[in-house]
Chains A and B, each alone.
Chain A
Amino acid sequence: MAEVSPLGNPPLPPPRLERGIVGWVRANLFATRFSGALTVASTLVFGAAAIFGINWMLFNADWSVIATLGGQMVIGQYNTEAACPGQNCFWRPQASLLMVTGILGMAWGVAGGGLPKRIGIGVAVVLAAFALLPYSFERMGMDVRLLLAANIPALGIGWAVARYTPLGTSPRIALSAVVVFAVTLLLLRGIPGIPGLQPVSVLNWGGLTLNLLLAVGGIAFSFPIGIALALGRRSHLPVVKLLCVVFIEVFRGVPLITLLFMSQVLVPLAFPENFPQNSLFRAAIIITLFSSAYMAENIRGGLQALHPGQAEAARALGLPSWQTTLLISLPQAIRNVIPAIVGQFIALFKDTSLVYIIGMLDVVEISRAFIQGNPEYLVSTKELFLFLGLVFWVFTYGMSYVSRRVEENMGVGRR
């Protein structure tokens, strides 16, 4: 039915100046005199800055330092003669990467498209593109290139496995991801006595691989520990509550770098002399505990915001208290604080750069050490750290993008 105004005439279209590009410019750039002045001023300032920046990036900056560091940024000192004597160990992290791509392929296969598909294809294509880097064959062998290019078939294999085998359900993929993480650790560490898998000390792990491993491990463990701490802090049992409060407040009150430093000097004393331990393992535990203290506070926020009627209704329906917590309170609480939780994941990933304090060569520290050891590259430091910033940004922004999509899919704010 056509719209009819009370007078019987069809309604007039909106004025020309409120529609189209002209209308958009008027509304968003020149709405008021002040806004117009802001537009002119900011165009001049940021335009000049953008021209300067692009000019510098294309013509003045010397990006060769990044090519020189190359694979060291990814795996640190892992493939050096000292860490991996008499053999090429580069294939081990690459094999782990193939497994990760395979998992992404499985996720795509189960979801049948959408976000997993886009992420999987993006990751596989970017990795395969690395195979075409213009290095000489002495620096980047054919084996390395082929293993990188194999990420695209790995994606496909993962997809097919999810489609045509019983592995293709979400819980089984989650289980496979855990298995892949464990296999990755085993592969990087090596198994004594097996040729080609000679042990590599964890202290030689490094580069972005180390940051990612610490982040994945930290996220996987700090989430359940954080939930337990949050529930403990809200518990009405005084002893449990006290323990959780003390733990959370101590870990939140002291900087991570101080805790890491302490883990190097004080924690070894707290165990008997022959207790098996190493500095990376201690650091990983400290990072996880630190993160779980923050995670606990985020989840507690979500639990507090929950209407008490939810739990009361569950109890009225006869659910025991553990089911009320696990099936009613926690899912809603976590859904409400997804941005805060993902923010904590991002913070944890950023914090992995602090392992320099225990002498590990993560991607930031190996870059800094390289500059320090090669003063001729001192002038390229800003290019190097700008690049590092971008590398971290790609991962962290990716995480916040995924979290926003997950929130949309869960219908946060609509239900």
Chain B
Amino acid sequence: MKLPNLTYKGVPVWRHAQVLQWTAQIVSGILVVVLVTWFFANIANAIHDRNIPFGFGFLSREYQTPIGWHLLPYESSDTFLYAFLVAVTNTLFVSLVGVVLATLLGTFIGVARLSGNWIVSKVALVYIEFFRNVPLLVQLFFWFYIVLALPPVREGYVLVDRLYLNNAGLSIPWLAVSSAGSALVWIGLVIAAIVAGLLVHRWLVLREIRIGSAPDPLLVGAATFFVIGAVGWIVIAFSSGTAPFTISIPSPQGAFGRISDGFTMSGGLMALMIGLVMYTASFIAEIVRAGIQSVSRGQIEAARALGLSNARTLRQVTLPQAMKVIIPPLISQFLNLTKNSSLAGAIGFSDLTNVAKTMTQTAPAVSIFLLIMAAYLAMSLTYSLIGNLYNRRINVGRR
């Protein structure tokens, strides 16, 4: 029996690429939709039949559970929504401080790895190979027990009368807001100063390109920023009678010698910070090394031949080219650090995942998962967006 000769544009349908591709797409699309619908139907059934709670009404209820360490002021009587916000702030705090410290340490080690000095280079290599290859969890436990082994508060270390280090954590002097109004005005001024500094820098760079000579743009730009900031500080201090910020120095209080004032990083936070920074720095060091090595020697030699100083060669020739290679993987490391901070629960620090995990005991787990997913996806999409914008910018003049 001969099969009916179905054709599309003169080609049998079972051999026509377009037909096959669209069939495959429709079939895979339907399969996925069916599977997802099945999952959601099951979840909906479970919520209905097994009386599993669902909904977002709990968000305005009181959380009634303490949060171990929090950056924002927090009371047990605050709502779930606010507690969730507190947890997100904790994770963001760890992420931002960790990113800055890890970048500094990682850059330092990456440069040390390239040093002509054999000892320095080998020590950096050992650091990278060890910290990169051991699970972060093991490192966190190690640091956590080191912190736990510190002396108790009353017998803790006191450095230069200002830093208190004990098994409750590290207390350091910190800024304290004396009056909210003047602090806000000054912060506004600082932002303005940054903008002004950037504008001055840009203007001087353009001028240098146009007429061939100008005062050092970076130096003048930074000076602009500092002058505006300092003058603003003095003006506010004199006009309102108090400085926008005062420095709060930690000191032991009461019979147990609890440290009050200043800024206290709890033991868990300290271990988390040390672990995350040392772990991520080992990856950043490799990224920085690869970036600097990607700049061809001829570029540096040409810069020297043109009479640029060492510092200017590094700043205006090596770094801008190395940055193209460094920035994209660096941003994905920032993202990894943020996500790795979710291990904090293992050492008792209240980050987003840990708080959310506790919340599932008194609130609908399904709803809380939707919230965590949304929070983490928002963070990672923000980082990706920054990375993509940067990529687009540097790829404009691609050769």
Interface residues of A (CB under 8 A from B): 28-29, 31-32, 35, 38-39, 42-43, 46, 237-240, 243, 250, 252-258, 261-262, 265-266, 269-273, 346, 350-351, 353-354, 356, 364, 368, 378-379, 381-382, 385-386, 388-389, 392-393, 396-397, 400
Contacts and interface: CB of A to CB of B under 8 A. Distances in A.
Contact of B25 (A239, A356, A364): A239
A378 B149 CA distance: 9
B318 to A, nearest CB: 18
A376 to B, nearest CB: 14
B365 interface: yes
B391 interface: no
B353 A238 contact: no
A234 B135 CA distance: 32
Given A254-B339, A269-B46, A28 B117 contact: yes
A39 B365 contact: no
B142 A269 contact: no
B29 interface: yes
A243 B339 contact: no
B58 to A, nearest CB: 16
A397 B353 contact: no
Contacts, number: 145
Given A43-B119, A258-B342, A381 B365 contact: no
Nearest to B283: A343
A364 B135 contact: yes
B21 to A, nearest CB: 6
Given A253-B380, A392-B135, A382 B118 contact: no
B366 interface: yes
Contacts of A243: 28-29, 32
21 contacts: A28-B116, A31-B116, A38-B115, A38-B120, A39-B120, A239-B28, A243-B32, A252-B380, A254-B376, A255-B342, A255-B353, A266-B365, A266-B366, A270-B39, A270-B40, A353-B138, A354-B343, A356-B346, A382-B142, A388-B138, A397-B133
B137 A353 contact: yes
Contacts of B123: 42, 46
Contacts of B353: 255, 257-258, 261
Nearest to B29: A239
Contacts of B72: none
Contacts of A253: 376-377, 380-381
B373 interface: yes
A265 B342 contact: no
Contact of A385 (B117, B130, B138): B138
B24 interface: yes
Interface in B9-53: 21, 24-26, 28-29, 32, 39-40, 42-43, 46-47, 50, 52
A215 to B, nearest CB: 11
Nearest to B49: A273
A386 B381 CA distance: 36
